[in-house]
Homo-oligomer: A and B are copies of this chain.
Amino acid sequence: MIRKLRPEDRAGWQQLYQGYQAFYGFHERPAEFYDKAFARLMAADTRDFHGFVADVDGQLLGLVHYVFHPNLWRDEGVCYLQDLFTAPEARGKGVARGLIEQVYAAADKAGVPAVYWLTAEDNYAGRMLYDRVAVKSPFIRYNRKV
């Protein structure tokens, strides 16, 4: 079952989010990184992030975080799906697809149907799914040098 993230999900959510951060090489985020992110997800601020989790008999198997933000080309803005993660033992069962589709539904309900995300070019496992539920654009990301 895909459902909204709830306060009692704190421990299970963090385990998943740590897995996601590790995938991108961030193995040692401080505790406060997770505290702040969870607090923001719980704040229900329409301009900040929201989260869904895949809950199977009380066990959390996946998460997704998204936010609506302005876009000058569209009055209603766009929906940015920033984080998506499935527990390694639950892969290949449609969890990630279900999470993405729940974001699509939430975006439609909010009147912001344009959903997008960014992924590493070599995130092969992710892209196998993304090519089925979305369309690769020709756009690549540049970051200011730090």
| Chain B residues within an 8 Å CB radius of A48 | 70
Residue of chain B at shortest CB distance from A103: B144
In the assembly, how many copies of this chain are there? 4
Q: Is A61 an interface residue (CB 8 A)?
A: no
Interfacial residues, chain A to chain B (CB-CB below 8 A): 33, 36-37, 40-41, 47-49, 65, 67, 69-73, 75, 80, 82-83, 104, 107, 113-122, 124-125, 127-128, 130-131, 133-146
A-B contact pairs, 27 of them (CB 8 A): A33-B73, A36-B75, A67-B69, A67-B72, A69-B69, A69-B80, A71-B82, A72-B83, A104-B144, A107-B144, A114-B146, A115-B143, A118-B141, A118-B142, A119-B139, A119-B140, A121-B139, A122-B127, A124-B127, A133-B144, A134-B142, A134-B143, A134-B144, A136-B141, A136-B142, A139-B140, A141-B141
